[in-house]
Amino acid sequence: MRPQALFLLVLTQLSVIAERAEAQVPSSAREVALGAWVTSVRGAASIDLNPAGLMGVRDWESLGSTYVTLSRSAPGFIFQDAILAKRFLESNALAFRYSPGAMLSFHLPDTNTILMPDSIKIPLDKSISFRDAIELAYAKQITRDISLGIAFRTFQEEISMKKIFYKLEAGNQFVAQTADSTYTQWAWLADLGVKWQYSPSILFGAATRNLLRFSDRTLPSDLRSLSFHMPRMLRIGAAYSPTANLLLALDIDTEKHAVLGWEYQLPYNIALRQSTHIDATTSRIVPAIGLGIGWSYRFVELNAAWLHFTDQRLRNNQASFVDFETEGISNLVMNSFTDDRIVFSLKVAFGKAHEPVARIEDIELTDIYPSMYYVYAYRPVGRARVRNLTSEPVHVRLSFMINDFMNTPTETKPEIIPAHGLLEIPFTALFKESITREQETSLRAAEIAVESSPEVPFEDRAQVQVVVHGRNDWNGDPHTLQYFVTPTDPAILAFSRSALEKYKTLIDTSDPRLNTFLRSQILFSEFANRLTYVNDPRLSDDRVQYPSETLSLKGGDCDDMSVAFASILESVGIASAFVDIVPPEDPENAHVFIMFDTGLPPKLGSLISDNPKRYVIRKNSRGEDRIWIPLETTEVTKGFETAWKLGAEQYFENVELKSGLIKGWVHVIDIDLD
């Protein structure tokens, strides 16, 4: 009898059981929770994510991780990774990873069974496993801000199954028998990574996956549908630190996946993290979320994370064989079959500590005046003298931070210090506008740090006390008085527009050559109607009111009046300047008044006055000679003519007769708010 007559092939559909999904996850629980790791990963954990991040290793670093699956069928702890990394020759790093837990295995009862004549069914089961157990990586610091990395790893696919063969026995009868058959395929893969520190608060990165692949063989054609998919993939990312305590990160890859993550540093070296995974290829746009917490102290870092998948249909042994073939697997972490898990990791840095190459030897800080807050972005707030501790030239830069008033530290451009040399480096500060709301003078802590590499937190740092003055404090320098001028203040704009609107007909019908002069007269008269002269409320020469405060209080001293009227003139486009007089015989009797540009050339001076002593010929911002009118703003209640007369007399006496401008005790400061 022929074998076909002896056996009947019956097709039955059975379930496929994922007995244990021991899937790879990022080596550190920090990266599991943060999710967007292309730019944010650092140190030993970078080996299988973005090898360029290995430049974050300072000397030796080890990392171990374990996780517990939350599967109802097979919960338990699984040892994930052991990583060892070493930095050498300052700009190079090597790392080795052994990951016994980086695997995914399934037991698949076959959909086909053989029905024997004696009614015995023989199943053709399959077992599938994927392993990504060994990896070696190298990183190089290419420039101060750019690092590159390359990683080589092995990947094993193994499929074990039952196969039927027929054996001819006595009586010429064919007997069906089964035997175990195993197909193994090894692959060697290479990945590349890059990180770029664009600025102190912005970081970009990219990492490939499966860029190069070499296999020792190909699986049989009838098993290729069960093979691990290894598409070439590019993942790019960006990270931004809007404050010193907050990190925001975004990753996007060519497989239409994206991750948004954040990390917030709390006191006592505690960090909170969260990630949201986005997948445009699935019915659920958010397939997974991560949460985590971390703690670090000196050379030790502990992290824990929870990874939750929002679609649980094919997890916990719920998948079918059809699901397995349809869904496929291309990622040992983010696939349709792995279970929720909690990951724990421990990182330890050891070996010799980083040898500092630079030291801060001295710091000079100026007092901080809120009225000048935007000026400090380009005018130094202090200087630090930095010593090169090595026998080679080093590149360094300084950072400066006051936590309450700055979002992020400001950094200087890189400076070169010669071997064993000392360099004085000025630094600036980018303050928040909220500093202008500080009412009282206070002492605040400032931190200055010097670094030589983006991957090393700092070479040296120092904390110093800095005086932050109240919003109305002034340092007495006439050149800084202009920073109290606020022509765009809503109260000033409303005042000037309302005043000119009342006299619109008069302005429109007057000689256009005198338009600026007439508008200045009108504004001064309206200013006089609103204010009366009063002494400084604190009887202090180093306190100045903001213009809106002068309007509200209806008075001030000479500084306040000058600042207020200059703001009004500037708000309608009339250029103005302060005249600061400090009599050498009586410096305590210093005085400030203003002058404004009429826009008239000297040849039209007779339109203003027949007495040339009543006006000043000086250049405007374009270098053109124009007629300027001095005004004694403290005489505001006596009207424009009196204020003009007294202002012109003071200017003529102190500048023309006593040569105060030439001798340096009279200063004319053009108001330049650009």
Q: Which H/E stretch holds residue 353? A: none
> 250 and 227 in one domain?
yes
Q: Is the pLDDT of residue 267 over 80?
A: yes
CATH number at residue 289: 2.40.160.40
Q: How far apart are CA 257 and CA 403, in angstroms?
A: 36
User: 0.85 exceeded by the pTM?
Assistant: no
CA atoms within 13 A on the CB side of 613: 10
Number of domains in the chain: 3
- Backbone region of residue 441 per phi and psi (left: phi > 0; alpha: psi in -120 to 50; beta: other values): beta
> 362 and 344 in one domain?
no
pLDDT band at 311 (very low <50, low <70, confident <90, very high): confident
- Kindly compute the dihedral angle of the four CA atoms of residues 367, 371, 373, 374, in this order, to the nearest 10 degrees: -140
CATH number at residue 506: 3.10.620
- The per-residue pLDDT for range 550-571, each reduced to its tens digit, is 998 888 888 888 899 999 999 9
Mean pLDDT of 461-485: 90
> 404 and 506 in one domain?
no
Domain-embedded: residue 72: yes
Q: Which residues of 396-414 are buried (b: 16+ CB within 10 A; e: fewer)?
A: bbbbbbbeebbebbbbbee
> 295 and 156 in one domain?
yes
Mean pLDDT of 654-668: 92
- The per-residue pLDDT for range 571-624, each reduced to its tens digit, is 999 999 999 999 888 888 888 899 999 999 999 999 999 999 999 999 998 999
pLDDT of residue 162: 65
Mean pLDDT of 641-650: 93
Domain-embedded: residue 527: yes
> 248 and 366 in one domain?
no
Phi then psi for 404, rounded to 5 degrees?
Answer: -70, -25
- The per-residue pLDDT for range 511-521, each reduced to its tens digit, is 999 999 999 99
> 527 and 450 in one domain?
no
> 176 and 82 in one domain?
yes
pLDDT of residue 111: 54
- Full domain range(s) for residue 71: 3-350
pLDDT of residue 472: 93
Domain-embedded: residue 473: no
Domain-embedded: residue 143: yes
> 539 and 461 in one domain?
no
Domain-embedded: residue 591: yes
CATH number at residue 452: 2.60.40.10
Chosen domain end from 468, 486, 506 = 468
- Joined together, the tokens standing for residue 608 give 């203003």
Domain-embedded: residue 602: yes
> 328 and 393 in one domain?
no
Mean pLDDT of 273-287: 87
Mean pLDDT of 105-131: 61
Cβ distance 325 to 16 under 8 Å?
no
Question: How far is C-alpha 548 from the geometric centre of its chain's CA atoms?
Answer: 36
> 158 and 104 in one domain?
yes
Q: How far apart are CA 13 and CA 328, in angstroms?
A: 19
Cβ distance 654 to 666 under 8 Å?
yes
Q: Is the pLDDT of residue 14 over 50?
A: no
SS3 104: strand
- Joined together, the tokens standing for residue 76 give 């338990």
Q: How far apart are CA 38 and CA 53, in angstroms?
A: 9
Closest CA relative to residue 261, chosen from 272, 269, 253: 272
> 482 and 445 in one domain?
no
- The per-residue pLDDT for range 364-388, each reduced to its tens digit, is 999 999 999 999 999 999 999 999 8
Chosen domain end from 468, 495, 514 = 468
Phi then psi for 173, rounded to 5 degrees?
Answer: -100, 135
Mean confidence (pLDDT) of the chain: 82
Chosen domain end from 468, 492, 509 = 468
> 214 and 138 in one domain?
yes
pLDDT of residue 145: 82
pLDDT band at 533 (very low <50, low <70, confident <90, very high): low
